[in-house]
Amino acid sequence: METAYKSKFMSEVDQFPQDTQRALKRAKKTGRWLSIMPSHVGGTILSSTEFRDALMLRYARIRSNLPTSCDGCGESKKFDVNHALDCKKGGLVTARHDEIRDELRDLLAHVFRPSRIRCEPIIKPAPMRSNGTKAHVPSASSSSDFLNADRGDLLIRSISEGWTDTIIDVRVTNIDSKPCRNLPPAYSIGK
């Protein structure tokens, strides 16, 4: 019986455009947020607008009242949901990134002493010798190197044995952006 429903579902889904197919195929595995009890403590309360937007994204629907242009970059020719989720100037990407980073930092502060957690550490990869071992290089960096250096989001001091530091870099990805469109739905939500 279940197999018949699955095959009927797949035959119905295959009639939609590719973007809608991707959203519907992953929707059956991305609904945990719908069963979480809203809580101020857990930060799981969504406004009515946020809830409607999340449902629209889940089922590949487009809001009828989208703005005519991007509030960050001013793009108006092809402003759509993907542009809103990708635009680095509009603030939505940065806000989502910072929210995840801050939540992760708060969670880590419950496990490690807050003094062991640093924000935006500079990433200095160790140079490698020709034989594959790490070479020791004294640090003599200029202020311009410091300003232009790659940075992680969080550093946790001595997280593992050997007193090594761990750098965590948070990345927010729009799984419907052009580079991700050809990936199977299971890849985009984590198997």
Closest Cα partner for 124 from 153, 161, 162, 167?
167
Q: What is the pLDDT confidence band of residue 191, given thresholds at 50, 70 and 90?
A: very low
Is residue 58 situated within a structural domain? yes
Q: What pLDDT is attached to residue 127?
A: 66
Is residue 156 situated within a structural domain? no
pLDDT higher at 141 or 34: 34
Distance CA 85, CA 73 (A): 13
Is residue 157 situated within a structural domain? no
Average pLDDT, the chain: 78
Q: What's the number of domains the chain is made of?
A: 1
pLDDT in tens, 102-118: 989 998 998 888 888 98
pLDDT in tens, 117-149: 988 888 876 666 666 665 555 454 555 555 667
| pLDDT for 150 beyond 80 | yes
Is residue 3 situated within a structural domain? yes
How far from 37 is each of 47, 56, 113, 150, CA to CA, in Å?
14, 20, 29, 38
* Residue-range definition of the domain harbouring residue 43: 1-65
- As a whole-number percent, the residues of the chain with pLDDT over 70 amount to 80
Give mean pLDDT, residues 75-100: 79
Is residue 71 situated within a structural domain? no
Give mean pLDDT, residues 15-21: 83
Q: What pLDDT is attached to residue 153?
A: 92
Is residue 24 situated within a structural domain? yes
Instruction: Please state which of the ranges 3-7, 8-12, 25-29, 153-157 shows the lowest mean pLDDT.
Output: 25-29
Beta bridge partners of 57: none
Q: What pLDDT is attached to residue 136?
A: 53
Closest Cα partner for 84 from 97, 101, 69?
69
Closest Cα partner for 154 from 132, 126, 175, 123?
123
Is residue 174 situated within a structural domain? no
Predicted TM-score (pTM) of the model is 0.62
| pLDDT for 185 beyond 80 | no
Is residue 116 situated within a structural domain? no
pLDDT in tens, 43-82: 788 888 888 888 888 887 887 777 888 878 877 777 777 7
Distance CA 60, CA 19 (A): 7
